[in-house]
Amino acid sequence: MRDILLQVNSHPEPAPDWAIHQAARLAERLRASLSLGVCQVHIPQASNWLADTLLKIDRIIADENRKSAANADALAETFTAFIEPNLRGEIFVIDCPATITHWRFAVRARSYDLTIIPVYGHAQTAYFAEGVVFDTGRPMLLLPELQTPEPKFDRVAVAWDGSRLAARAVADAMPLLRPATSVMLVQVSGEKDLSRSAPASDALRNLKHHGVTAETTAVAIENDDAGTTLQSWCMRNGSDLLVMGAFGHSRAREFVLGGVTRSILENTKLPVLMSH
């Protein structure tokens, strides 16, 4: 991972400074270049004459757009001031009408090794992250605010079900698995039939060839929610990163997420590297 992209939003509130600080520390740890992609919301003018006359909607919209533009400028300034020149990549702005949209950003993210999406309570984070992980072909890191100064990722948990997606996630996460002090392959039992899946022992053998000594454990599913089960296990065992494949499929032009993927996107408790 030599080329990392951090996604931030300008509206309704700018992404917090900690997102830039933590992404910068991770880039330094990996000796990677860090770029900034700003999703700047531009709200279109109201088309309802009566609403504008009575409520002054266009004036309110203009104020919000000025606020969004000012927030985007402030994010770029913070990024420039905090990132070391030798690690600083590009800064680009994606114009998003009314709400943050993933598709134009995802096209740019395809040319980076990793996209970081900060998790801080923005209403559209889960929707945006879903689009990024499925449309880029590259791994994505969901990054909530950490209690430590920097994301070290010393204790890594891998959600292993022997699927193609799990195998891809392990391969994509290899630069983070190698320096970890502990890697645990976690199998959730009671969720699905794993009899025809690749056994964890095969994954352990492969990881060993890459200098990663890992272990495996089985965890019983809690409340029929594998996502909650995985995150609960991670919190109990001090894991500071969860690696997993993102499952979803298209049906009748509607994208349907797998249960564990949706659960974690909507309630991220720790840093999660997702791959599809």
Q: What is the DSSP string of the chain?
A: --EEEEEEE-SSSPPPHHHHHHHHHHHHHHT-EEEEEEEEEEPPPP--HHHHHHH-HHHHHHHHHHHHHHHHHHHHHHHHHHS-TTTEEEEEEEEEESS--SHHHHHHHTTSSEEEEEESS-TTHHHHHHHHHHHSSS-EEEEEPPSSSS----EEEEE--SSHHHHHHHHHTHHHHTT-SEEEEEEEETSS--TTSPPHHHHHHHHHHTT--EEEEEEE-BTTBHHHHHHHHHHHTT-SEEEEE--EEEETTEEEE-HHHHHHHHS--S-EEEE-
Task: Give the per-residue pLDDT at 42.
Answer: 81
Q: Which residues contact residue 195 at a Cβ distance below 8 angstroms, ignoring those fewer than 6 apart?
A: none
Task: Give the per-residue pLDDT at 126.
Answer: 87
What is 155-275's CATH number, 3.20.190.10, 3.40.50.620, 3.40.50.300, 3.40.50.1110?
3.40.50.620
Residue 193: phi and psi, rounded to 5, are -75, 120
Q: Which residues contact residue 215 at a Cβ distance below 8 angstroms, ignoring those fewer than 6 apart?
A: 182, 183, 184, 185, 204
Pairing between β-strand 88-97 and β-strand 155-159 as defined by DSSP bridges? unpaired
pLDDT in tens, the chain (276 residues): 999 999 999 988 889 999 999 999 999 999 999 999 999 988 777 666 555 565 667 788 888 889 999 999 999 999 999 998 999 999 999 988 767 778 889 999 999 999 999 999 888 888 889 889 999 999 999 999 998 878 989 999 999 999 999 999 999 999 999 999 999 999 998 777 777 789 999 999 999 999 999 999 999 988 878 889 999 999 999 999 999 998 765 443 334 455 788 888 888 999 999 999
Pairing between β-strand 214-220 and β-strand 88-97 as defined by DSSP bridges? unpaired
Read off the tokens for 45. 């003018």
Task: Give the per-residue pLDDT at 12.
Answer: 86
Task: Give the per-residue pLDDT at 255.
Answer: 43
Give the Cα separation of 18 and 145 in Å (integer). Answer: 7
Number of CB atoms found within 10 A of residue 136's CB: 23
| Domain ranges for the chain | 3-144, 155-275
Give the Cα separation of 276 and 271 in Å (integer). Answer: 17
Please name which of 77, 65, 98, 133 lies closest in space to residue 273, comparing C-alpha atoms: 133
At the top level of CATH, which class does the domain 3-144 belong to?
Answer: alpha beta
Task: Give the per-residue pLDDT at 252.
Answer: 35
Pairing between β-strand 140-144 and β-strand 114-119 as defined by DSSP bridges? parallel
Number of CB atoms found within 10 A of residue 143's CB: 23
Task: Give the per-residue pLDDT at 251.
Answer: 45
Could you check whether 3-144 and 155-275 share the same CATH topology? yes
Do residues 107 and 141 make contact, with C-beta atoms less than 8 angstroms apart? no
Query: What's the gap between Cα 148 and its chain centre?
Result: 19
Q: Say what the pTM is.
A: 0.90
Pairing between β-strand 254-257 and β-strand 248-251 as defined by DSSP bridges? antiparallel
